[in-house]
Amino acid sequence: MSDQNRDTSLQDVHISEDNMQLIIQGHSIFRLGQLTYWFLTFCTAGTFYILSRWFPVIRIRMSLRSAALESASFVHITSNGKHLSLEPVTNIEVNNSLVSGFDVSKEQCYDDHLGTTTRLNIFEFRHYRFAYVPALSCYVPISQWRDPSWVSGVPTSITGLDEEIIVQRRRLFGECVIDIQEKSYLRLLLDEAINPFYIFQAASIAIWCSEEYYYYSGAILLISAVSIASTLITTKQASRRIRETSVCVCPTLVLRENRWREVDSSQLVPGDIIDISLPGFKVFPCEAILLEGDCIVNESMLTGESVPESKVPLELNNNIFQSIDMAAHTFCPAVLRHILFAGTKLVRTRKTDSAYGGDVLMQRTTAMVIRTGFYTTKGALVRSILFPHPTRFRFYTDALRFVMVLAGLAIIGFIVNTINLRRLGVSTSEIVKKAFDLITIAVPPALPAAMTIGMVFAARRLRKVGIFCISPSRINVASKIAVVCFDKTGTLTEDMLDMTGVHLANQRSGGFLDMQRSAEPLFESLATTDTGSIIDAVGEPGISAIGAIATCHSLHVVDDALVGDPLEIEMLRFTGWRIDEVEDVSGSLPNFSDPLTMTPNHLYCKTVYPPSTLLGEKTNPHYSTGVRIIKCFEFAPELCRASVISKSPHAQNAEIYVKGAPEVLQGLCLIHTIPSDLDQVLARHAQSGSRVIAIAGKPLAMPLDKAALPERSEVECDLIFIGLLLFANKLKPATADVLSELHTAKIRTIMCTGDNPFTAVCVARECGMIGLDMHVFVSRLTPLPAFPLDNDKTLLGTSIETVNLHTPLTAVTWVDSEDACIVLNPVTLIPAPANIDDNAATERALKIAQTRKFCIAITGGVFGYLEKTAQGLETWKRLLMCGTVFARMSPEQKASLVKHLQNLGYISGFCGDGANDISALRTADVGISLSEAEASVAAPFTSRSADIQCVPAVIREGRCSIVTSFSCFKYMALYSIIQFTTCCMLYSYDINLTNGQFLYIDLFTILPIAVCIDRFPPAERLVSKRPSSRLTSKKVLASLLGNIMLVVVFQAVMFLMTEAQTWYHKPKPSIPGDADSTPNEGELNTSLYLLSSFQYLFIGVVFSIGPPYRKSALRSYSFVAVVVLGGGL
- Report, as residue numbers or ranges, the catalytic residues: 487
Contact call for residues 548 and 697 (beta carbons, < 8 A): yes
Residues in CB range of 929: below 8 A, 6 or more apart: 304, 911, 912, 913, 917, 921, 936, 938, 939, 941, 942, 943
CB-CB neighbours of 227 under 10 Å: 16
Angle ∠(1066,442,1059) on CA atoms, nearest 5: 15
The torsion angles phi and psi of 125, rounded to 5 degrees, stand at -140, 115
Cα separation, 753 vs 857, whole angstroms: 11
Q: Quote the radius of gyration of the chain (alpha carbons, Å).
A: 36
The closest of 1018, 922, 1010, 909 to 961, measured between CA atoms, is 1018
Q: Which alpha helices (H) appear in 247-324, and where do they start and end?
A: 300-303
Pairing of the two strands 908-912 and 822-824:
unpaired
Q: What is the dihedral of CA 829, 833, 835, 836, to 10 degrees?
A: -100
β-pair partners for 641 = 636, 660
SS3 805: coil
Beta bridge partners of 911: 486, 928
> What number of other Cβ atoms are within 10 A of residue 956's Cβ?
25
Amino acid at 427: S
| β-pair type (941-943, 117-125) | unpaired
CA diameter of the chain: 130
- Local structure of 927: helix, strand or coil: strand
Residues 6 or more apart from 421 whose CB is under 8 A from it? 430, 431, 434, 435, 987, 990
Q: Which pairing describes strands 527-528 and 511-512: parallel, antiparallel, or unpaired?
A: unpaired
- Supply the angle between the helices 185-193 and 214-246 in degrees, to the nearest 10: 130
Alpha carbon of 617 to those of 577, 624, 648: distances in Å?
A: 18, 10, 18
Amino acid of residue 134: P
The Cα-based distances of 767 to 779, 886, 918, 944 in angstroms read: 22, 16, 24, 22
Q: Are strands 483-486 and 748-752 parallel, antiparallel or unpaired?
A: parallel
Q: Are 691 and 497 in contact (CB under 8 A)?
A: yes
What is the CB neighbour count within 10 angstroms for residue 1061?
10
Are residues 921 and 912 in contact, defined by beta-carbon separation less than 8 angstroms? yes
d(CA 222, CA 228): 10
Q: Which helix (H) or strand (E) holds 970?
A: helix 950-987
| Rounded Cα distance, 491 and 954, in Å | 16
Q: Is 446 helix (H, G, I), strand (E, B) or coil?
A: coil
Which amino acid, 978? I
Contact 645, 631 (CB under 8 A): yes
Q: What is the 3-state secondary structure (H, E, C) of 54-119?
A: HCCHHHHHHHEEECCCCCCCEEEEEECCEEEEEEECEEEEEEHHHHHHHCCCHHHHCCHHHCCEEE
Instruction: Measure the CA–CA gap between 692 and 567, rounded to whole angstroms.
Output: 11
CA-based nearest residue to 46, from 55, 56, 37: 37
Cα 190 off chain centre by: 32
C-alpha to C-alpha distance for 204 and 216, rounded to whole angstroms: 11
Q: What share of the chain is helix, strand, coil (3-state, %, to 5)?
A: 40, 20, 35
